[in-house]
Amino acid sequence: MKTWLITGASSGLGLGMTTKLLERGDRVVACGRRMAPFDALARTAGDRLRCARFDITDTAALRGEVDAAFAAFGRIDTVVSNAGYGLFGAAEEVTDDQIGRQVATNLVASIQLVRAVLPHLRTQGGGRILQVSSEGGQVAYPNFSLYHATKWGIEGFLEAVAQEVAPFGIDVVIAEPGPTATGFADGLDHAAPLGVYDPTPAGDVRRALSSGGFEIRGDAERTVDAMIQVADSARPRRRIALGSTAFEHIHRALTDRLEDLVQQKSLTFSADRA
């Protein structure tokens, strides 16, 4: 039996993961702003489910709940940083308040969760952090600039952290699902559109999203199964792309960047000291 702590556990991939883990007999600390989704699970899971209700952007509350969870269960094997949402709008369209909420939720809160659990994972001799990012941590769509900023940011943060904590037996896994049927689109924070962007790629993406033309190949249940499989493995990969869309888009982006880097080699080397 393993013990997991999952943020954003009251919906989407987080709820799916919580449900599957409890069904197989594991223990879960389910963190979220709404407790109603856990009512049915609590009736069957009993003391294997610990529910923690708090705002993920409240760092003091987050630290308190993390400390309480480790105290209650003694050991937590895997911490799943899943809480987040998307801000939809061109960079010029989004408001300062929307930017602040997006960064506070997706980036700062994820950073603070990692900082809160690391002392406990070190003390217990190791553990695993699974960050639910997105293909949007490697590629970018118009109208998601702030969302991408948070996902590219948390991936960079964890690349460094992984090197810092490896000597303590702590692994870091970054999951990068492509568009998946989780209700993500329903939870988007929409900026007020500016007409000037209608004939641009930003307008194209807006129309595709509103018309249902934005293709979603990813299956939520299979995505959860894949993440659990990787989290259970003895030697997990640092990054896992999930879904054919994620593979295709990330492969294309990395190939293009590598080709561009190689083509500028002479210019790049010219910046070295003589």
Residues acting as catalytic residues: 10, 133, 147, 151
Spatial separation of the C-alpha atoms in residues 242 and 263, rounded to whole Å: 30
Spatial separation of the C-alpha atoms in residues 189 and 254, rounded to whole Å: 29
Spatial separation of the C-alpha atoms in residues 81 and 186, rounded to whole Å: 20
Do the Cβ atoms of 144 and 218 come closer than 8 Å? no
Spatial separation of the C-alpha atoms in residues 28 and 76, rounded to whole Å: 9
- From residue 70, alpha-carbon distances to 53, 64, 120, 145 in Å are 16, 10, 7, 36
- From residue 189, alpha-carbon distances to 55, 192, 201 in Å are 17, 10, 19
